[in-house]
A and B are shown apart, each in its own frame.
Chain A
Amino acid sequence: MQIYVCVKHVPDTAANIKIVGETGYNDSACKFIANPYDEYAIEAAVQLVEKQGGEAVVVTVGPESAVGTLRSAMAMGAARGILVKVDSQFLDSDITAQALKAAIEADGKKADLILTGKGSVDTEGFQTMYRLAGAMGLPVVNEIVKLDVNGGKATVEREIGAGSREVLEANLPCVLGATKGLNEPRYPKFPDIMKAKKKPVDQKAISDLGVDPSGAKTRLLKLEAVPERSGAKMIEGAPREQVVELVRILREEEKVL
């Protein structure tokens, strides 16, 4: 089975984003990691390869430093990596999808399955997998929490609100977006970390793949910190008095009840 796993090199979710200018941020102050949702995809791919044989190849579109994310995916068991180099952290999801498609096709092997995370924790677009599938003419299901690949078909489950789930089928090859619950991404063994440092990474510029990064249909106008609250108004008194006052405030002042 030939599996491509699309991953993104993103700032750690704990990193503080220091905004620079109108639309930039200080990325040198952030630790970058593999997008957490993509780790479920890597784990799923590695498990499938372990069971059914084949190869898991990890693909990313990002800056040179994204090799670090490819290495961590390879430490988890991916065989090799492909990096499509771009300069900007913010890339329109349509361009990213085109770059991914071109990179997978240029790899020369027929993809049986393309996996990725349900979305990235930096730009939170939740759409690249749909665009990739659309461009390649493949079925797509996102936010899957269960995956079964058998007889040329993928059976998946996705959550659709308060504990309800939908079971879907799609013929292979298809594009699937993984989310928490699908599996527990493994912690790599030390020898695998060392081996991953020697696994091949194919690096190419986005322009070499014939993709024009300037054709985006979205533009980032402004990036701003979500305003923090300045501190709570403390409601004093015995529990009984506190709750009566709280109900009054919520009803009369805030009007949320």
Chain B
Amino acid sequence: MANIGVLIEIEGGELKGTNFGVLTAAHEQGKNDVYAFLLGEKADPFKDALAAYGAEKIVEVSAAGADLSKNPDLQAKALAAAIDEYSLTGMLGLASAVGRDLFARMAADLNLPLVSDGVAVDLDRKTVRKSHFSGKTFATIQIEAGVLLCAIRPNAIEAKEAPVEAEVVSFSPSVSDPGRVRVVEAKMSASDKMDLTEAPIIITGGRPIGSAENYKVLEECARALGPAAVGASRAAVDAGYAPHSMQVGQTGKTVSPKLYIGCGLSGSVQHFAGMKTSKVIVAINTDKDAPIFEKCDYGIIGDLFEVMPALTKALKES
């Protein structure tokens, strides 16, 4: 029995769905006591949801006499203090933009090893599996320290419900602000689009999409699928059909959704490096010899402009 911490991420006042996989990883079928940490947030709205995935203690973290928000160094120090306070032997989180940053700050601060972007973790043996060589290989890393720090790739670990009774506690360590880095402004995107790395389902359009406007065909289907995001291949981004923030692949985002639908993708190595840990990959392409068909789970030979609207319709009907 070990005490494992999980850094919970809240976005726009809501729990990110990807948190639950991390809780599942920490819980290890009841082997561990899971501490869910909320940075500067009240636990109440999230208590039931977190308890459903095995968080026995929900810790509201704040800093004595300091404002945690807008100060990543301070947040990392507060979390580091929590490791000590609760005798944690592992701290897990999401390898999101925020999570990667906080975990690295914490690791540097505590001089502890860290695995960022892990896809599987064994807390007992203190080993983590992660991608090496831009998605071409997996490395299994042994952590030789008392505490295991790992930021897990969103969706890499499937969430499993494990309901427990949760207790809410507060933790307010006195941490001093090194005063190094300040967030001066947050430019939030106006759209409600889901971040690619967090999305459980992704539909990607390649160059045959032909224009930025045509992505609406995919967006309609994404809406019918439920929480889903729309991505683009590098060729489509280079052609100016989509912004770089939508790019999936080696030089774009690495994603690991449960369902990945690629429309008009040829299936380049570089693209696969960014999505091949997806659970199910479906490809739609007009060319029956497109290499993507050799590397995916299900294939449909057809024009995306015919198949995708039909799929949207079929999803709405069923």
Contacts and interface: CB of A to CB of B under 8 A. Distances in A.
Given A123-B132, A133-B108, A256-B258, A217 B113 contact: yes
A124 B259 contact: no
A74 interface: no
A233 B130 CA distance: 28
Nearest to A232: B299
B251 A243 contact: no
A184 to B, nearest CB: 12
Interface string A158-178: 111111111111110010000
A235 B186 contact: no
Contact of A217 (B145, B181, B293): B145
A194 interface: no
B181 A140 contact: yes
Q: Which of B181, B197, B225 is the most central at the interface, judged by chain A CB atoms within 10 Å of its CB? A: B181
Q: Which of B104, B137, B180 is the most central at the interface, judged by chain A CB atoms within 10 Å of its CB? A: B104
A218 interface: yes
Nearest to B313: A243
Nearest to A142: B101
Interface in A207-228: 216-226, 228
Interface residues of B, number: 94
Interface in B168-189: 180-189
13 contacts: A11-B133, A122-B133, A126-B104, A160-B186, A162-B189, A168-B182, A217-B113, A218-B142, A225-B136, A234-B293, A242-B300, A247-B314, A254-B297
Q: Which of A92, A231, A239 is the most central at the interface, judged by chain B CB atoms within 10 Å of its CB? A: A239
Interface in B270-318: 270, 273, 276-277, 279-283, 292-302, 306-307, 310-311, 313-315, 318
A180 B251 contact: yes
Interface stretch (B27-35, B41-49, B50-58, B92-100): B92-100
A138 interface: yes
Contacts of B180: 138-140, 170-171, 174
B66 interface: no
A233 B281 CA distance: 11
Interface stretch (A13-21, A45-53, A104-112): A13-21
A138 B140 CA distance: 31
A29 interface: no
Q: Which of A36, A94, A216 is the most central at the interface, judged by chain B CB atoms within 10 Å of its CB? A: A94
Given A131-B108, A139-B181, A162-B194, A231 B294 contact: yes
A55 B163 CA distance: 59
B198 interface: yes
Interface stretch (B81-89, B207-215, B242-250): B242-250
Interface string A230-257: 0111110001101110110111001011
Interface of B: 11, 73, 96-98, 100-101, 104-105, 107-109, 111-117, 127, 130-145, 180-189, 191, 193-198, 201, 225-226, 229, 243-245, 250-252, 258-259, 269-270, 273, 276-277, 279-283, 292-302, 306-307, 310-311, 313-315, 318
A126 B137 CA distance: 17
Q: Which of A124, A125, A162, A226 is the most central at the interface, judged by chain B CB atoms within 10 Å of its CB? A: A162
A229 interface: yes
B185 to A, nearest CB: 4
A14 B269 contact: yes
Contacts of B313: 243
Contact of B132 (A223, A228, A246): A223
A226 B142 contact: no
Closest 6 CB pairs of A and B: A139-B180, A134-B108, A163-B189, A232-B299, A161-B195, A130-B104
